[in-house]
A and B are shown apart, each in its own frame.
Chain A
Amino acid sequence: MDILLARWAEAFSRIHPAWTLEVDGKGSRVAMRALERSGADLAALSSIPPGADFVRSGFPKPQGHLLVVVGWDTLRFRWRLGAHPDTSEIRPAYLGRESKLRPIGRNLSSGTRDEVRAAIGGTREFGSGVRSLPSPSQVAQAVASDPRSVGYGSSGWSLSRLERSNDAIQVRPLVLAFPAGPMRPAVAEFLSFVLSRQGQKLVADDGFRPLEPDSTAAWRARLGL
């Protein structure tokens, strides 16, 4: 989601040259921590923070934060273009069973790792032989450079040397989280841009699924934008 955020920031800066956005990509958990402790204006998450009952309430405020869904992501397995791995071997490879594949995943602090772990069999941890790397881009690079490697990643992965699996591991919302309290004008303007047609086009251009038009209208009405 880092690239999407950077594209939003770039397009927003062209519309409002006086306002600048600094983007730092470290993962959803770090983003939430930055929001709570270091005074960031907003955090971009590719999953709902633990404890948030988003589906039931439709508009949760876990720990006082405001969460807004701005798109949808589909998590899939990825491999090098033309590698044609036996897809039935992918899940066993992540569970540490004998396989010709070299499975690659994110490091332990990644929320996506937990989601994949739960999806492949609900084990407490990946099996032995799984390589752990600290960022999605490193996983993508490692997968692209080795024909026997498989990885997983969001729809936003756009390396031309990668192919994706047909079956999805998980569909998850792209979320922007804001601190509790009144929203600063610049932040409200940015959120308005993200929910605009132009902002949603960037979501689609980056490989994610944008919100339906009636959803963006509903969010705008709720947020008073």
Chain B
Amino acid sequence: MAESSRRRVPRSVRIADRLAGLVLGVGGSFAPFALAAAMFWLFWQADLLHPFADWSRVGGWLRGSVSLGLVALAGASPFAVTGALLGRGSDLVRLHLRMVAAVPLAVPAFLLLHWTAPWVSQRFGLPVQHPGWACIALAVGMVPPLWLILSDALERGGGISAAAYALGATPSQVMRTLILPASAPGLVAALLRGFSRAMGETMAVLLVSGNYASAWGGAGGAATVGAALVLDLPEASPGGGLWIDLMRGGLLLTVMTVSVYAVSDRVERRFRSGGQP
């Protein structure tokens, strides 16, 4: 049986499969070194002992990135949690979500910028580009991936809940006492990942935020770290004050996103291993 199924796979497909595995394997092993090299370069360029760099400016960018991520997460979470709770187990929903989750965040941002924002601007006098739009775009773009991860997390309680229903528990009892506690680490990991992604997002933010140094971001001259890097890095003189500020912002943002992602990964591993460290 195994021999016959093997014969059905064309040789070219098997070779391509092996090549793809090799490339992915080599790429995967190289990724940590690339990350370490990038971190080392950023650390070197950030010149933490340089006396003339402006920490308040870097702080403003970081506050912008973190607050944008938090607000977007706060906006996306209710929809993603509700959707995951109500739409669990539906293959059609999952398939649809996987397709939508693959769309870059810049796409909802672009649609907001060209359809929704001008309409709202004409009727209510709000600017077409504003940090609020960036929050909405990020929140809309974060719902599908969050929903998917949360669905996976909630699936964990599926077997237990069936047993609970058989013993006469109500849906709300099952949700409160079984599903949510069992999937809580998975929920936390999913939310942390969403936050990490939103914090580092650049293109969507630049498209719709208008690069206001907003009240939540403080007076750093840019909306977020990503926006500052994209707009000012090409024109900053290497070794100058602005360059060092940008490198410090990039370094801290990288450290923060990698740390948040590492924590979410650890939480998820513990969750999958049934609570064993």
Contacts and interface: CB of A to CB of B under 8 A. Distances in A.
Interface of A: 26-27, 29-30, 33, 96, 102, 107-110, 113, 124-134, 146
Interface stretch (B15-23, B86-94, B139-147, B228-236): B228-236
Contacts of B259: none
Contacts of B210: 131
Q: Please give me the 10 A-B residue pairs with the lowest Cβ-Cβ distance, nearest first.
A: A109-B235, A107-B231, A108-B221, A108-B232, A131-B212, A109-B232, A128-B219, A128-B215, A127-B219, A125-B219
A125 B214 contact: no
A130 B215 CA distance: 10
B212 A130 contact: yes
A133 B235 CA distance: 13
The main secondary structure of chain B at its interface with chain A is: loop
Contacts of A30: 235
B56 interface: yes
A125 B57 contact: yes
Interface residues of B, number: 25
Contacts of B127: 102, 146
Nearest to A102: B127
Contacts of B54: 124-125
Contacts of A29: 235, 237
26 contacts: A26-B235, A29-B237, A33-B237, A102-B127, A107-B232, A108-B57, A108-B221, A108-B228, A108-B231, A108-B236, A109-B242, A124-B57, A125-B56, A125-B60, A125-B220, A125-B221, A128-B60, A129-B214, A130-B213, A131-B129, A131-B212, A131-B213, A132-B213, A132-B221, A133-B211, A146-B127
Contacts of B56: 124-125
A142 B237 CA distance: 27
Given A124-B54, A126-B219, A132 B211 contact: yes
A132 B219 contact: no
Given A107-B222, A108-B221, A108-B242, A129 B213 contact: yes
Interface in B112-153: 127, 129
B123 to A, nearest CB: 15
Most buried by B among A110, A125, A128: A128
Given A129-B214, A131-B211, 13 more contacts: A26-B235, A107-B222, A108-B232, A109-B232, A109-B235, A109-B242, A125-B221, A126-B213, A126-B219, A128-B214, A128-B217, A129-B212, A132-B231
Contacts of A108: 57, 221-222, 228, 231-232, 236, 242
Nearest to B217: A128
Contacts of A134: 231
B226 interface: no
A82 B90 CA distance: 57
B69 interface: no
B218 interface: yes
A196 B254 CA distance: 54
Contacts of B242: 108-109
Nearest to B222: A132
B66 to A, nearest CB: 15
Contacts of A110: 235
